[in-house]
Amino acid sequence: MLVLVAPGQGAQTPGFLTPWLELPGAAERVAGWSDAIGLDLVHYGTKADEDEIRDTAVAQPLLVAAGLLSASALGAPTAFGAVAGHSVGEITAAAYAGVLGEDDALSFVRTRGLAMAEAAAVTETGMAAVLGGDQEVVVAHLDKLGLTPANINGAGQIVAAGTAEQIAALVADKPEGAMKVVALKVAGAFHTHHMAPAVATLAEAAKALTPADPALKYVSNRDGLVVESGADVVARLVGQVANPVRWDLCMQTFSELGVTGIVELSPGGTLTGLAKRALKGVPNVALKTPDDLDKAAKLIAELTA
Distance CA 242, CA 196 (A): 6
Q: Which residues contact 265 (CB under 8 A, 6 or more apart)?
A: 4, 5, 6, 7, 66, 67, 70, 71, 74, 89, 92, 287
> Is residue 244 classed as helix, strand or coil in its secondary structure?
coil
Distance CA 250, CA 269 (A): 17
Reported residue count of the chain is 305
**Annotation says 70 is catalytic:** no
Distance CA 264, CA 270 (A): 9
Catalytic residue chosen out of the listed positions 34, 70, 86, 87: 87
> Is residue 163 classed as helix, strand or coil in its secondary structure?
strand
Distances (CA, A) of 19 to 69, 257, 294: 11, 34, 15
DSSP bridge pairs for 182: 129
Distance CA 142, CA 101 (A): 39
**Annotation says 191 is catalytic:** yes
Interior/surface letters 166-192, b for 16+ CB within 10 angstroms, e for the rest? bbeebeeebbeebeebeebbbbbbbbb
Catalytic residue chosen out of the listed positions 191, 194, 220, 266: 191
Which residues are part of the catalytic machinery? 87, 191
